[in-house]
Amino acid sequence: MDTRHLLRISATAFVAVGLLISGCSSGSPSSEASASHSASGAGSMAVDPAALKKYYGQKLAWRACGVAGFQCATMKAPLDYAKPNGTQINLAVARKKATGPGKRIGSLLVNPGGPGGSAVGYLQGYAGIGYPAPVRARYDMVAVDPRGVARSSPVECLSGKEMDAYTQVDQTPDDKAETDRLATSFKQFAQGCERRSGAILPHVSTVDAARDMDILRGVLGDKKLSYVGASYGTFLGSTYAELYPKRTGRLVLDGAMDPSLPARTLNRDQTAGFETAFRSFATDCVKQADCPLGTESAAEVSTRMKAFFKTLDAKPVPTGESRELGESLATTGVIAAMYDESAWPQLRGALTSAMDGDGAGLLALADSYYERESNGSYANLMFANSAVNCLDLPPAFANAAEVTAAAPSFEKASPVFGRGLAWASLNCAYWPTKATGAPHRIEAKGAAPIVVVGTTRDPATPYKWAQSLARQLSSGTLLTYDGDGHTAYGRGSDCIDTAINTYLLEGTPPKDGKKCS
């Protein structure tokens, strides 16, 4: 298992999210960009607007790419914003122009979260064709893969075979030997990242990505940035608002993170979120004829799930390939299905097969979570995820002894997942680059109204995070979805979709505290 506060939309069903830019006049660097900010700590670095003019003034060479109607380009950005005249990096950008009818509002960027999710892939696979037609009619749909991600100078760490071994390491160690083996796997992962991507590792923070977004805003000719970000994308969006409040347009932050929390609290809160989601699954499972974990009560389902994980820890089951299904991969497979309730039938079937000695179904769910291809290669999702998370916040734990001491609180938060998620939080302890960020409140004073969306039984971004962020933001308004799954926009609630569409198209936010189901 390896979740490491991986905050993204479902691996089983890409759903709503995006970034949006509105306005018509061109943007350029100003005193706002050079001011001292506290965003993630790294934002305190002063940036010389004069030195950035060449980036804001660049022209993108668009070319046809992907399916019909999409265009791609490469944008330049400084590797180190403290040295804008130094090394440059390439960022992949894609768009699908507004279709009409109606007057074009501006550019709509999309980002599926992560950190590590490919925004370009998300645009071409869903947002550019699946967003509500009125929104696509009036916005150019645009995406940029954040630095370190996918097509934008990607962070690389391990080979496919090395990742296979890494994902199978026991993350519920029972003795010193297993604890040492787990710590060694984290060290080897970090060393692989430093060896393959050492030059970019210090420069993939969320602050850096937010500054890249402002360059793109200027290059596209938009006066203000309006943004719909999902999951981790909400942290990216709120960071942008903190850095550039006067350039902030219509922001929708769906499945919100709470930037005021330290890494240990974030990880423990997310652990509780997965427990909430699993209880919801368990309550539904007992009503189904094919539930393999019992038919009497949700508590019975939880007890049997935990017992099955323990069985796999002692004796993995075959999968039809060289990899066996042990506790770590099985837990990741179950967690993957918590992101979207539409995956629950698949999970029931996979669990039934695994309990009968065939782990292929749960392995497939785990592979979808890790973005592992059938040829054994991996996307760079997990590499970028660790690189950004370990730079944005100091590590949750400094050593194994701290995990051991804190594990009971994680197990209290989730009897099913707690122990494993506590140990998974150790990874940043061995990271080669010191964190530049720190937990802090984001107020974004002076920003236009910002809509924060929270789902009551969200597994990855607990509802209380949305409540907290909405309170922190000086112009925040909370929109609540009473339901299951990760994020809310585009997941079947007409109430949510109408409220957000109205805001994006007309600029009118929903009433603070509005609830939908």
Give mean pLDDT, residues 312-341.
Answer: 97
Of 442, 483, 499, nearest to 43 by C-alpha is: 442
Q: Tell me whether residue 231 is one of the annotated catalytic residues.
A: yes
Give buried/exposed letters for 489-508 (b at 16+ CB in 10 A, else e).
bbbebebbbebbbebbbeee
Contacts of 177 (CB under 8 A, 6+ apart): none
46 pLDDT more than 90: no
Q: Which of 107, 280, 486, 497 is catalytic?
A: 486
Rounded distance between C-alpha atoms, residue 161 and residue 72, angstroms = 32
Band of residue 52 on the pLDDT scale cut at 50, 70, 90: very high
Q: Tell me whether residue 458 is one of the annotated catalytic residues.
A: yes
Q: Tell me whether residue 302 is one of the annotated catalytic residues.
A: no
pLDDT given at position 268: 97
- 450-457 β-sheet, strand order: 63-64, 71-78, 88-96, 139-144, 106-109, 21-22, 224-230, 248-254, 450-457, 476-484, 514-516
Q: Select the more confidently predicted residue: 108 or 317.
A: 317
Give mean pLDDT, residues 219-227.
Answer: 92
Rounded distance between C-alpha atoms, residue 114 and residue 388, angstroms = 9
Residue span(s) of the chain under CATH 3.40.50.1820 come to 12-154+205-259+439-516
Q: Which of 152, 185, 231, 493 is catalytic?
A: 231
Q: Which of 170, 458, 484, 497 is catalytic?
A: 458
11 pLDDT more than 80: no
27 pLDDT more than 60: no
CB 437 within 8 A of CB 228: no
199 pLDDT more than 70: yes
DSSP string, 489-503: TTSS-HHHHHHHHHH
The pLDDT tens digits of the residues spanning 350-376 come to: 999 999 999 999 999 999 999 999 999
Q: Select the more confidently predicted residue: 62 or 9.
A: 62
Q: Any idea of the CA torsion for 175, 178, 182, 183, to the nearest 10 degrees?
A: 60
Rounded distance between C-alpha atoms, residue 93 and residue 347, angstroms = 35
CATH code of the domain occupying 12-154+205-259+439-516: 3.40.50.1820
**Considering only 12-26, 79-93, 361-375, which range has the smallest mean pLDDT?**
12-26
CB 31 within 8 A of CB 244: no
Mean of the per-residue pLDDT values of the chain: 91
Give mean pLDDT, residues 27-56.
Answer: 62
Rounded distance between C-alpha atoms, residue 450 and residue 232, angstroms = 16
Rounded distance between C-alpha atoms, residue 258 and residue 98, angstroms = 33
Band of residue 395 on the pLDDT scale cut at 50, 70, 90: very high
Rounded distance between C-alpha atoms, residue 180 and residue 294, angstroms = 36
Q: What is the pTM of this model?
A: 0.91
Give mean pLDDT, residues 168-178.
Answer: 96
Rounded distance between C-alpha atoms, residue 378 and residue 372, angstroms = 4
Structure tokens, 286: 């007992």
Rounded distance between C-alpha atoms, residue 96 and residue 111, angstroms = 14
35 pLDDT more than 60: no
Band of residue 30 on the pLDDT scale cut at 50, 70, 90: low
40 pLDDT more than 50: no
